[in-house]
Structure 1
């Protein structure tokens, strides 16, 4: 069982605290829990929240010592981290625990020094402040999350939920993440970036969004060849306009987005079926097993066979 330590602090927003506790606290495959979640604080006891109620936290930073995953669900701009918290994060990291900063939690991760010379993601509205406060890190304001393996950071609010589902997907596979997302009534995986939220207004209805319609059409035709001109015609746009508006909408080019959708579909089929590589390649639009292996390894850093072996226990 994986242990998760979630850090609370005086003034923490309850919603931010609830995201990792809800996601990791609800995961279970075969009726057994896969994570044990402990909420902890540097100073255990009664903590205030801005929501009109207090919370009581029993565990201290010693929870980091037994955690596989240390989550800082939020932070406050301009709030320093103590020497004790910095040392606890470094000890957990050195022991092999992954350190996760959700939304403004990336400020605490950056302040720890663990991400110096590397990249972190935060809410786009806070990116400039984070970059100014911690010039040793590269700040990403265009992605939903950054996963460096040992350090994981995310954008704000809903992206924190995306990031936690991403971690579940990496630990337990797409099937478990998809079932959890369905229970939470949220999308199991959102490819793309914060770019879709910064400059582009949300359409009033999906029927009024030709890009969304084209995305749905592509997902239902992944096994077929999809050329850019035909795809643009689905959206009733020229190729150039479609490409520009698709990038504005998702933060990716149509080709990049499509490749990730095909990889996600292949990953799910590897975990949930015993289909051959050739069959999966055909059903996901890769065409050949060679192409499937190439793109799968390039995007996920592992082979389809190794991924299937890792998650073969999820079948059935």
Structure 2
């Protein structure tokens, strides 16, 4: 449902800084700009977040439309990146962001842009998201922020933060949907060749990475063998014998090599295969359970919902 209350398009300010990332600027440009759908849904402008020339590390230069005082009149203020997690934003920018939030503007930090909002104090006492690799650093710098490291984006009391890179697309589409609803966003997403909504509910989660290979050659060979026969039943004693280890040694070496217990790794592999089958085939849930090695449909559904926060059927409906 649209939240437009007048005939003027909502104004979006994209705040830019020296050493900008071209990709991170292209995301809000594609989503909120005129060219993608050939219609004007938002009035988008680039605002200089600091004085001087705005250059990327590759030598590209951007000419801004306005200075920081323009933030006083914008509906959405978007910080699409930040050059380094150690640098604090300048005082003028911090003050402008605080004033904008206080008057009710939607303030957004994509990827490292969330650090700018945190330095400005806008995330204190709120939930936020950032790239999973920065979890420890972000939590140490900003202990007053509740970090949801699984979320692709989080909105809390007029402030939105997102995880890295492609999650910025999800976040911008979410903002577009807040104003114009799903129908237009679906059309926009098709034009951009991206998913309009990467989950069945409000929470959107990134995949948990698992190791493809490790530094232990025997563990690698065993992992490859199991992947080819993932639907079989396995016991720790049988696996330990197959690599000529005691059960205790195998358990220790597998955990050291992969960072997981064998049971956690096997469940993750089976769930990853189930995702692929849900997306790329018309196999029934019973057939998928048989191919992935889960002992029952009920256990499969519970494990899938626990990991991805959506049901297998909802996943198929979104991605098939």
> What TM-score does the superposition give when structure 2 sets the normalisation length?
0.68
Equivalent pair of 1:5/1:69 in contact (CA under 8 Å): yes
Counterpart Cα distance in 2 of 1:107 and 1:145 = 14
Equivalent pair of 1:44/1:56 in contact (CA under 8 Å): no
Counterpart Cα distance in 2 of 1:14 and 1:235 = 41
Counterpart Cα distance in 2 of 1:11 and 1:237 = 49
Equivalent pair of 2:50/2:93 in contact (CA under 8 Å): no
* Paired position in structure 1 for 2:139: 131
Q: 2:153 aligns with which of 145, 170, 173?
A: 145
User: Do residues 232 (structure 1) and 289 (structure 2) align?
Assistant: yes
* Paired position in structure 2 for 1:120: 128
* Paired position in structure 1 for 2:304: 246
Q: 1:40 aligns with which of 47, 61, 73?
A: 47
SS of structure 2 residue aligned to 1:59: coil
Equivalent pair of 2:125/2:146 in contact (CA under 8 Å): yes
Counterpart Cα distance in 1 of 2:295 and 2:34 = 45
Tell me by how many angstroms 1:89 deviates: 0.7
Tell me by how many angstroms 1:233 deviates: 4.8
Q: 2:171 aligns with which of 163, 172, 192?
A: 163
Tell me by how many angstroms 1:230 deviates: 7.2
User: Do residues 15 (structure 1) and 23 (structure 2) align?
Assistant: yes
Tell me by how many angstroms 1:160 deviates: 0.5
Tell me, which stretches of 5 or more residues in structure 1 are unaligned? 265-316
Sort the Cα spacing of 1:177 and 1:236 in 2 relative to 1 into closer, same or farther, 3 A.
farther
Counterpart Cα distance in 2 of 1:111 and 1:81 = 7
User: Do residues 56 (structure 1) and 63 (structure 2) align?
Assistant: yes
Counterpart Cα distance in 2 of 1:123 and 1:130 = 9
SS of structure 2 residue aligned to 1:238: coil
Sort the Cα spacing of 1:200 and 1:142 in 2 relative to 1 into closer, same or farther, 3 A.
farther
SS of structure 2 residue aligned to 1:196: coil
Query: Structure 1 residue runs of 4+, over 3 Å off?
Result: 26-29, 192-195, 197-201, 228-248, 257-262
Equivalent pair of 2:36/2:191 in contact (CA under 8 Å): no
* Paired position in structure 2 for 1:184: 192
Equivalent pair of 1:145/1:152 in contact (CA under 8 Å): yes
Q: Which has the higher contact order (CA 8 A, sep 6+)?
A: 2
Counterpart Cα distance in 2 of 1:88 and 1:159 = 25
Sort the Cα spacing of 1:78 and 1:185 in 2 relative to 1 into closer, same or farther, 3 A.
same
Give the total of aligned pairs.
248
User: Do residues 198 (structure 1) and 209 (structure 2) align?
Assistant: yes
Counterpart Cα distance in 1 of 2:176 and 2:290 = 37
Q: How does 1:240-279 map to 2 (within 5 A)?
A: 242-243=300-301, 246=304, 251-255=307-311, 258=313
Equivalent pair of 1:27/1:180 in contact (CA under 8 Å): no
Counterpart Cα distance in 2 of 1:123 and 1:162 = 14
Higher share in helix: 1
Tell me by how many angstroms 1:258 deviates: 4.7
Tell me by how many angstroms 1:105 deviates: 0.7
